[in-house]
Each structure stands twice: as C-alpha cells, then as structure tokens.
Chain A
Amino acid sequence: MKHTWRRAVGGALTSLTGLAALLIVALLAVILLDALRGGAAHVTWRFLTEPPSDGMMGGGIFPALYGTAALTLLMTLAVMPVGVLTAVYLHEYAPPGSRLARAVRVAVVNLAGVPSIVFGLFGVGFFIHFVGGNLDRLLGYQELHWAQPGILWASLTLAVLTLPVVIVATEEALRAVPMEHRTASLALGATQSQTLARVVLPGALPGILTGAVLAISRGAGEVAPILFTGAAYFLPELPHSMNSQFMHLGYHSYVLATQSPDVEATRPLLYATVLVLLALTFALNLVAVLIRARTRRRAAAAH
C-alpha cells in the first residue's frame, strides 16, 4: 500500500518535471510561431535582395544581410586561428598541472561570463580609442580615420566575445580524436606538430566547424557589442572599407522595434526582419547541434 502511494507520488512528480521541460520547448515554439505568423508573408526574394526604401517603410533588408555576413566573416577570420590554437595548447601541448593552462581556463570561463555591453565598452575604449587613435597618429591622419566606429573594430570586438565558444568546441573536438591515432602517428616517426597537422586537426575538423558555426550564430545575433562600434541604421551603400559602418539584422530589428517612424507601417517589415534573423541563427545552431551530436557519439565510441 505504502509502496503504491510512493510510486503514485513519484509518477506525479515525474509528470511535473516533464511539464517543466515541455514548458521550455513550448515557449520556443511560441516565439517561432509568432515570428512566422507576423513575418512569413513578407519574406520574399525581393525582400532579401533589395535595400530599404520609403523611409524604412518599404523595400528590403539586403544591406543588413550583407553587413551581417561581412561582419561575421571578418570575425570568424579573426577568432578561428586564435581559438583553435589556444584549444590545441590546452589539450595537446600543456604539461599536466600547468599553471598557465589553469589560468587560461579560468580566463576563458570568465570571458564567457562578461556581459555583452561591457564588450561594447571594451570595443570603444580599446579598439576605437586606443588602437584606432594610435593608428591615426602613426599614419598621420588629421581627422578621425581609424578612431571611429567601423566594421573592423566591431568584428574584432565580436571575435573576443566568441573566443570562449570556439575554444570550448575545439577542445571537445580534440577530445573526440582517439589517443591511439596520436600514438600511432608518433610511433611512425612523426613529430608532434606533424601529428597535429595531419592526424589530429583533420580528425577534429567537424567539432572545429561546430565552433565556427556557433560563433557565427552569436555574431549574427549579438547587438549590444556593436551598438557603438559600427552598426548603423540607414546607409546609402554597402560597407566598402575596413572603417565603414554597416547595417546589421539584429541592430535593424532593435531600431525598427523602438524607433521606427510609423509603427503600423513598419510592423510587417519588423516581423520579417526578425524572422530572417531567427531563421538564420536557428539554421546555424541546428547545423552545429547535428555536428556536435555526431562528434559526441564518436567520442563515446572512441573512449
């Protein structure tokens, strides 16, 4: 009797926790459905390939797509080498118990926790004023040339922000490569760097790709770090140099939602922009999740 009662309570509580999990999934679905409902009709090929017109009440979002793509491309070029090599150090080169390795890990965990707006301040204080200012002085510019918001500084700021993502994903990928591959390579006479370049890194490539994809997804979605380091609302042309400002899907959504000239007229545009941003980050995250699931299964089999 008592056992039945305990089982019943257990069953009820299991359902409760199941409901909690369901709630999270349901909220995700609601957000998706709402964006779809409000914006799906408006996302046409023209919308994706035309610039905005009529004071942001018509036209499309091509410059924002281009700006987002250019920004994340630059960011990826900056973050991947540094992130992958740092993870390589942590997993392949660091002696066990190394103090440097421990310090790097602590730094990475903390970097992941820094608020995104503080990255924005860092971008202004370090990249724009310090690096940009000194660059201007060195190159002899009288007016502000590098010491102003631009796509280069915004992408470098985002690169620092996504560094932990790349490091963690790469470490996971390196762990998935079986130790036997490394030892076999070394036994055949390869040096550590040769093993790294020809055996380990190729084997870890899917996981490294996950890191890149997740970093791109963060870069496309984060708005706070680019508010003052280069994003703009209305530009007549696409960014064409390293110190150009750029339009950005996330920033555009924010401005349309809070500062649009005619709330009713821009509502479909706003929803469509948000839908495109959501679809983009979703697709990227889905790809990352799929690669990661495959890598985890391979790691479990290898160890």
Chain B
Amino acid sequence: MDRQVSMQGQGVVGMAVVAPKLSSAARRRQLREKVIAGIITAMAFTGIAALVLILVFVAKEALALFLDAEARHEASLSKMFLPQVARAGRPATFVWQPVSSVPKVSMIPLFIGTLKTTLVSMVVAVPVGVAGALFAAEFAPRRLREVLKPTIELLAGVPSVVLGFFVLMVLASFMQDTFGVGSRLNALVAGLGLSLAIVPVIFTVTEDSLTAVPRSYREASLALGATPWETAWKVVLPAAAPGILAACVLGFGGAIGETMIVLMASGNAAIVSASLMDSARTLSATIAAEMGEVVVGSPHYSLLFFLGVELFVFTFLLNMLASTWTRRVLKRLSGAGA
C-alpha cells in the first residue's frame, strides 16, 4: 500500500519534469545526430594525432642513436657537440663528415650554417616585411591595399624550388658580378633567397595585427594633433607589437625549416666561420642531401632522423612562442578597444 502511494507520488513528480515520449523516428534521428557528432569529434583528433605521430615516428628512428651500441659509439653526444680531432696531429675542431672511415658528426657547423642563413634572411625580411605591412595597413589607399595584399599572397604561393632556382641562376651571378664575392654560393645568397620565402608570412601576419588595432586608437591620436605617421609609429605599432613579434618568430621558424632554397644555393659546405661569404650547410639541407645515401637502420640514418627531431623541436618552440604573443595582442586589443 505504502509502496503504491510512494510510486504514485514519484510518478506525479516525475511527469512534471520528464520530456514527452519520443516517437521511434525521432529517437532514430537523435541517435543519428549523436553518431554524426561523434564522428566529427573523432575527426578533430586527426590534427592532434598527426602532430604526435610525426614526433613519435621521427624520434623513433632517431632513438637507435641512444640504444644501439654501434650508433652510440659513432655518434655520441660528446662527438656531436664537443670539438674532436679530425686529422692526426692537428688541433681538435668541429667537423661534419659522417661518410668516412671515422665518421665525424659534429652538429656545430650545421647549427652555425643554419644560424647564418636564417639571420641574413631575418635582417632583410623583417624590415621590408614590417615596413611594407605598415604601408599597406596605414597609408595605402584602400584600392591599392586590396591589390597589394593578394599580390604578396601570390609571392607566398611560389614554390620554394622555384625560388631556389631563381637564386641559383640569377641572384648568385648578380651578387658575384656586382660585389665580387669569393664563393658564388654562400650564406648571404642563400639568406637572400630565404628572405623571399619568409617575407610574405611576416607581411601578412604584421598586416593582420595592425588592422586589428581598433580605429579608436588612431582617431584619438589624430584628434590630439598627431600626424598620421606619428600615430602609426607611436600608437598603432606599439599596440600591435606582440603580433609583429609573432610574425617575426613565424618567419624565423619558416627560415630555419626551409630546405630547397638552401639545398640549391648555399654551397652546402659544413664550415665553421663567421663570414657570410663562405658556404654554409644547414640542418635541413643536410637531411635532404644525405637521406638518399643512407642504409635503413645504420647510425647515419638514425643521425639524420635526429637532425629532424632537432628541427621539429626548434620550430615547435618557436610556434608556441608566436601563438602566445598573438593571443596576448588579441586579448589586449579586444579588451581595450571599443
């Protein structure tokens, strides 16, 4: 008796909050929706999965360097980073010469080569890219801007092998005829080619950051009597600064990872020197040039994958830095703007 009453009581309360009973068709629809949503959510994992898989499988092949005895002997960490005696009777130096009776695997010439070419490309691309973006965002008439942006996006679409070809055939000869440098293919020439590759990225991201600055900033500055240029230099640029820094960092990452241009235009000599007129050998070009020669599973093979891990880690860190700065600029501007 009690039970009946309590159940009835429950039933009354229940009825007030329970949804109307679904028809079987409606239930099928809901199930279908859930399945579709599930599939789409699962798809989202592929992006994360791809990144993780890249790291895992590149690192896996490099792991032999630390696990296999022969590889560990040939390419120990000390051999990679500390000076070694390359020729009997000569002082210890940094040499990269993995195909040899005694393999020499110093990373230092490769780091220096990568750094030299990247630095040259940044020194050229950052001023040109930021200045160009400043022009496009602040001073160019609207119609010119609408032509300029897509044109520079077209430059972004030029394949790097074509840029490398252009540098190899035209730019290198031009530099040699005009400046009479020693090596025709050197870090400077390769750096100039790299700058062609990264200027579009720096331009586009800088321009996006500058246009994200709210109009109120500019209007207030002009109202206080500043000229358009003073506004741009003292108000807009500082406001967009984190975004511009992010653009530079992205450009830097792109330059470090670029392969075809340096492969064709840098001379590929693993030299340790400060001169930009010397040939240079970068990490990426080393992988591209030597990968064909290796026997799968050999220490040299693992070493090249290790170079790949280094490249992955560098560019990953740079990208995280750029993301943090971009988020900061967006937060600052959207919070303050009105």
Q: Which residue of B lies closest to A217 (CB)?
A: B157
* A227 contacts B288, C-beta separation under 8 Å: yes
Q: Which residues from chain A contact B39 at a C-beta distance below 8 Å?
A: 85
Chain B residues closer than 8 Å to A16, beta-carbon distance: 131
Confirm or deny: A245 has a beta carbon within 8 angstroms of a beta carbon on chain B: no
Scoring B residues 219 to 233 as 1 if CB is less than 8 Å from chain A, else 0, what string do you get? 000000001111001
Give the CA-CA distance A130 to B57 in the complex, in Å. Answer: 9
Closest Cβ–Cβ distance, residue A281 to chain B (whole Å): 5
**A107: Cβ under 8 A from any B Cβ:** yes
Contact A122/B166 with A23-B128, A28-B151, A293-B150 known, Cβ cut-off 8 Å: no
Per-residue A-contact encoding for B34-45, CB less than 8 Å = 1, 0 else: 001101110111
Once the chains bind, are A25 and B152 in contact (CB under 8 Å)? yes
Q: How far is the CB of A116 from chain B (nearest CB, A)?
A: 6
A90 touches B157 (CB 8 A): no
In the bound complex, how far is the Cα of B285 from the Cα of A224, in angstroms? 10
- Is B66 at the interface (CB under 8 A from chain A)? no
Contact of A82 among B46, B163, B166 (CB under 8 A): B46
- Which of B4-12, B90-98, B304-312 contacts its partner? B304-312
A205 neighbours in B (Cβ, 8 Å)? none
Within 8 A of B (CB), among A11-26: 11, 13-14, 16-18, 20-21, 23-25
Binds A, one of B176-184, B258-266, B269-277: B258-266
A184 at the interface (CB under 8 A from B): no
Cβ of A48 under 8 Å from chain B: no
Q: Does B85 contact A (CB under 8 A)?
A: no
Chain B stretch 193-225: residues in CB contact (< 8 A) with chain A: 196, 199-200, 203
The answer to the question of A103 belonging to the interface, with a C-beta cut-off of 8 Å to chain B, is: yes
Given A21-B135, A254-B161, CB of A116 within 8 Å of CB of B43: no
Q: Which of B57, B129, B312 has the most CB of A within 10 A?
A: B57
Contacts of B156 in A (CB 8 A): 285
Query: Is B47 in contact with A10, judged by CB distance below 8 angstroms?
Result: no
B76 within 8 A of A: no
A115 touches B315 (CB 8 A): yes
B71 in the interface (beta carbon within 8 A): no
Whole-angstrom distance between the Cβ of B324 and the nearest chain A Cβ: 11
Give the CA-CA distance A90 to B152 in the complex, in Å.
28
Do A118 and B308 touch across chains, with their CB atoms under 8 A apart?
A: yes
Contact with A along B302-325 (1 / 0, CB 8 A): 001100100110011011101100
For residue B157, give the distance in angstroms from its CB to the closest CB of chain A. 4
* B58-A104 in contact (CB<8A): no
Give the interface SS of chain A, mostly helix, strand, loop or mixed.
Answer: helix
Which one of A116, A120, A167 lies within 8 Å of B47 (CB-CB)?
A167
From residue A234, how far is it (CB to closest CB) to chain B in Å?
15
* CB within 8 Å for A121 and B203 given contacts A17-B134, A284-B157: no
Q: Is the CB of B99 closer than 8 A to any CB of chain A?
A: no
Q: Would you call B250 an interface residue if the criterion is a C-beta within 8 Å of the partner chain's C-beta atoms? A: yes
Does A111 reach chain B (CB closer than 8 Å)?
yes
**Interface size counted on chain A using CB atoms at 8 A:** 92
Other-chain contact of A107, B48, B60, B128 (Cβ < 8 Å): B48
B50 adjacent to A107 (CB under 8 Å):
yes
Q: Is the CB of B264 within 8 A of A21?
A: no
Check A116–B128 contact: CB distance below 8 A: no
Is A113 located at the chain interface by the 8 A CB criterion? yes
- Chain B residues with CB under 8 Å of A104's CB are 44-45, 47-48
Q: A24-B132, A224-B260, A278-B158 are in contact. Are A121 and B287 (CB under 8 A)?
A: yes
User: Does A61 belong to the interface (CB within 8 Å)?
Assistant: no
Q: Is B86 on the interface with A (CB-CB < 8 A)? A: no
Q: Could you say which residues of chain B place their CB within 8 Å of the CB of A192?
A: 33, 37
Measured CA separation A222–B323 after assembly (Å):
25
Interface residues of B (CB under 8 A from A): 29, 32-33, 36-37, 39-41, 43-48, 50-51, 53-54, 57-58, 60-61, 127-129, 131-132, 134-136, 139-140, 146, 148, 150-166, 168-170, 196, 199-200, 203, 227-230, 233, 250, 253-254, 256-260, 263-264, 284, 287-288, 291-292, 296, 304-305, 308, 311-312, 315-316, 318-320, 322-323
Besides A34-B169, A104-B47, 11 more A-B contacts (Cβ < 8 Å) are A6-B230, A13-B233, A21-B136, A21-B140, A35-B162, A81-B43, A114-B312, A115-B312, A163-B46, A222-B160, A250-B159
